[in-house]
Amino acid sequence: MMTLVLPASKSSDRFGHTGPVSLSGPVDGWQLMDTSRLTRAFVTGASGFIGSNLADRLLAAGFSVVGYDNFTTGRREFIAEALRHPEFKLIEGDVLDTARTAAAMAGCDIVFHFAANADVRFGLQHPRKDLEQNTIATFSVLEAMRTSGVRDIAFSSTGSIYGEADVFPTPETAPFPIQTSLYGCLEACRRRPHYGL
């Protein structure tokens, strides 16, 4: 796994953060990604809380950004600042549509995958929705990357993968207890090494 640390912005973002952003945190054994060759980023879930903040930071760091979202849960006001930036392009689409996703990410150097259904509480009431929007959607993004020739991906996970952990804060090396949510279980599946990348 790799981590990408973006430089601190000159001014605070809309949530008051001013320091450097680490997308995975400093974890022993992880490497910093060489971003010198990366210039164009594809962000799924770009109108969500995390995706929109990342898009703003990437733009501030000099990246061109393609934001991709179906606006199921995202908010247009989250990307208002990005929409005013000349290096931001918004494409409305669903990551489950692999061909459309592949076409949208063509020419990008890296994918930041944040599109997901994060509804932890009601996952057992709609397991197909969780499976499709988390695990199958991630497969679709990976397949779109394969066909588009994009080799680098970064995505976040969640503390939900640890179920009801015994240690707080919970380190990434903590053992996986019995899962307490379908969302946490599916997110744990997404963290496994992926094919061909």
How many other CB atoms sit within 10 Å of the CB of residue 121? 8
State residue 119's pLDDT score: 67
Q: Does residue 151 form part of some domain?
A: yes
Please return the burial class of 182, using the count of CB atoms within 10 Å of its CB with bins 0-12, 13-18 and 19+: buried
Q: Does residue 165 form part of some domain?
A: no
State residue 1's pLDDT score: 32
Boundaries of domain holding 125: 37-156
- Catalytic residue flag (residue 183): yes
CATH of the domain at 78: 3.40.50.720
CB 33 within 8 A of CB 4: yes
State residue 20's pLDDT score: 42
Q: What's the structural domain count of the chain?
A: 1
Q: Does residue 162 form part of some domain?
A: no
HSE-CB of 180 using CA atoms within 13 angstroms: 10
pLDDT tens across the length of the chain (197 residues): 334 444 444 344 444 444 444 444 443 444 455 556 779 999 999 999 999 999 999 999 999 999 999 999 899 999 999 999 999 999 999 999 999 999 999 999 999 999 987 766 666 677 787 778 878 898 999 999 999 999 999 877 666 666 677 777 877 777 766 666 666 666 666 555 544 44
Q: Does residue 185 form part of some domain?
A: no
